[in-house]
Chain A
């Protein structure tokens, strides 16, 4: 059974960098069949896809966040990570990681999500 688990600080100060890690169990992030994505959801609002990373390290970021986002892989730990810099209160959200199929690009499964609050 594939499981994903987000981890990282729950509170980040404005203008600083949000850093989250997703630990994958039951599957290898080195698989050629999947991408690994980050998605966020502000409280009471809809879902926004942040971007994805492939096992080669190739990334695609949502243009709405591209200037502030970086994703990376740690294959030795079977983890992938998200960094979002210059955060503001608008970046306060629940952040999810998810496995993304290579052929149809749906998200399954998802991590449970982690709330990140941007506040001084």
Chain B
């Protein structure tokens, strides 16, 4: 299985801050990295697929980048509604696996 790690595991930031979450795969996953936001008691919500493809309706302050094994989710200007947990997921190889998550507090 491809193992996914994320850092940091949690962070606290202020409104307007630039936030960066890193995701690393144990082997190359090419361009098959997806990012999800999850709020307490809710299902995960797809933000970005295929490294950098922003989903319709997702604010432009969210962006994704990276390649091979190292990927980044950036929130350019943190907003109060951005609290929650963020997960990366590799869809390069089965079984699909998720990172352990990054909890973002405002």
In angstroms, Cα B90 to Cα A67, docked, is 23
Tell me the interface secondary structure of chain B in the complex: loop
Q: How many residues of A sit at the interface, in one of the four size bands?
A: 20 to 34
Residues of B within 8 A of A112 (CB): 42-43
The answer on a CB contact under 8 Å between A104 and B43 is no
Q: Which of B55, B96, B99 contacts A49 (CB 8 A)?
A: B96
In angstroms, Cα B87 to Cα A113, docked, is 17
The answer on a CB contact under 8 Å between B91 and A108 is no
Contacts A104-B50, A105-B32, A106-B91 given; does A49 touch B97 at CB 8 Å: yes
B100 within 8 A of A: yes
Q: From residue B4, how far is it (CB to closest CB) to chain A in Å?
A: 9
The answer on a CB contact under 8 Å between A111 and B43 is yes
The answer on a CB contact under 8 Å between B43 and A96 is yes
